[in-house]
Structures are given as structure tokens and as C-alpha cells.
């Protein structure tokens, strides 16, 4: 963004702001304060207050996979920045039907959460069920701070002891893409290098991504 004094007048500066990307809509005063704590900037001009998302991200570094390692598959996992993670998925899944729904959770942390799914392959009944149950649970979580995908999974499960889960936590982008193509929903949370995949069946826990990169006899 150019400094104010490089432009001839305040009108020129206001016109320049109209073409600056990453401008956000201001809906309420409370939302404005939350966005400021996330790294946004508010500029006051003749047309009123304008909000711009210009946060410098230092958590977008992609690390080596440490939990679900493979020899022949991709070696990089998710980062701790939700926008970087969405871009990683888009880089591997080139479908215009890929949909991302963003909202927040946490009473004080206001963590950004993203729902990713392929609108062409996901079951409409499954998507409706997730919107009515999981999404509403995430929005209604009364915990002060939610900082990890594993913690989010436990909160959504609602039980301390559960034999079979309908969700899976993964750090691998190739597993995310594989499940998106299969019609499942992926949940990303800002600040955590893991995701939650749902719905999951028992067989999903018995497979490794390494199985996709080796022949049957070499895997056994």
C-alpha cells in the first residue's frame, strides 16, 4: 500500500483505496475489534471506515510429515495458517466445485474454521446432516479457547470414551484430497497443522496413504 504522502490529495488516496485488494466488509463494531486483533487495518476516509486484511503470516511454513510418514508419497504436511492450508488443498485438487465455508469458534480465541468439500461428489444428505449437527456444534462451542483439530474432534464427539469414531485427524494433504474426491468433508482450524475428516468408516482407519504408492506385494 502506497504511503499517503506519495499521492496528490486525499481524494486520490480514497480512490486508490477502492482498488486495494483484501478489503473486508464491516458488519458490526465487535467484529471490527476482532479483525484488528488478527492483523487487519482500519483506515478512516471521507467515505467512512474501511477494513483491510494485511496480516503478515509467520506460521505458513510447511513442515515434514511426522505422524503419517510415507516413503514414496508427498513429504510436506499442513501448516499452522488456515489460508495456506486451503491453498495447499487447491493446489492438489483442481476442481471448480471445491467449496470452502468459513466461520469462527471459541469464546475468546475466535479461531477461524473452514469446511472444505466438493459440491459435485458430496452427498447432499450428508452435507445437510453435517450442517445441522457438526457445524452448529462448532459455532455453539462454549469453550474459551479451541486450539487444535484433536481438541475440536473431542468436543464434537461429546464423549470421553468412544469405541468407534466418525471422524479422523490427519496432517496429510494427499489424504485430504483423496477423501474430498470420495465425497467427504474436511474441517480445518486456524493455528493447527492438522485437519478433521468426516464421515469416516472403520475401514478408513485400516488404510495408509503408502498403500496408494506401492503395489500389493511390496506392501505386504
Beta partners for residue 189, in sequence order:
113
35 confidence band (pLDDT: 50, 70, 90): confident
Cβ(54)–Cβ(43) below 8 Å: no
pTM: predicted TM-score of the whole model, two decimal places: 0.71
pLDDT tens per residue across span 123-177: 888 888 887 777 777 766 656 567 777 777 777 776 666 667 778 889 999 999 9
Q: Check whether 212 has a pLDDT greater than 70.
A: yes
Q: Which is more confidently placed, 160 or 44?
A: 44
| Alpha carbons 114 and 128: distance in angstroms, whole number | 16
Beta partners for residue 50, in sequence order:
43
Of 173, 172, 169, 185, the residue nearest 93 (C-alpha): 173
Amino acid at each position: 500500500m502506497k504511503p499517503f504522502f506519495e499521492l496528490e490529495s486525499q481524494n486520490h488516496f480514497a480512490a486508490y483505496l477502492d482498488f486495494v485488494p483484501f478489503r473486508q466488509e464491516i458488519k458490526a463494531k465487535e467484529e471490527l475489534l476482532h479483525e484488528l486483533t488478527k492483523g487487519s487495518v482500519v483506515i478512516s476516509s471521507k467515505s467512512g471506515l474501511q477494513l483491510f486484511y494485511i496480516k503478515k503470516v509467520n506460521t505458513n511454513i510447511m513442515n515434514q510429515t511426522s505422524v503419517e510418514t510415507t516413503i514414496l508419497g508427498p513429504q510436506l504436511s499442513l501448516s499452522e495458517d488456515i489460508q495456506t492450508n486451503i491453498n495447499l488443498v487447491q493446489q492438489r485438487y483442481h476442481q471448480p466445485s471445491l467449496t470452502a465455508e468459513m466461520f469462527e469458534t471459541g469464546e475468546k480465541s475466535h479461531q477461524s474454521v473452514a469446511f472444505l468439500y466438493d459440491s459435485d461428489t458430496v452427498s447432499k444428505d450428508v452435507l445437510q446432516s453435517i450442517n445441522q449437527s457438526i457445524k452448529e456444534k462448532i459455532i455453539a462451542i462454549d469453550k474459551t479457547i479451541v486450539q487444535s483439530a484433536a481438541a475440536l474432534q473431542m468436543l464434537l464427539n461429546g464423549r470421553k470414551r468412544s469405541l468407534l469414531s466418525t471422524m479422523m485427524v490427519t496432517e496429510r494433504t494427499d489424504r485430504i484430497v483423496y477423501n474430498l474426491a470420495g465425497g467427504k468433508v474436511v474441517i480445518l482450524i486456524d493455528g493447527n497443522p492438522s485437519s478433521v475428516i468426516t464421515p469416516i468408516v472403520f475401514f478408513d482407519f485400516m488404510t495408509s496413504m503408502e498403500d496408494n504408492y506401492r503395489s500389493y506385494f511390496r506392501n505386504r
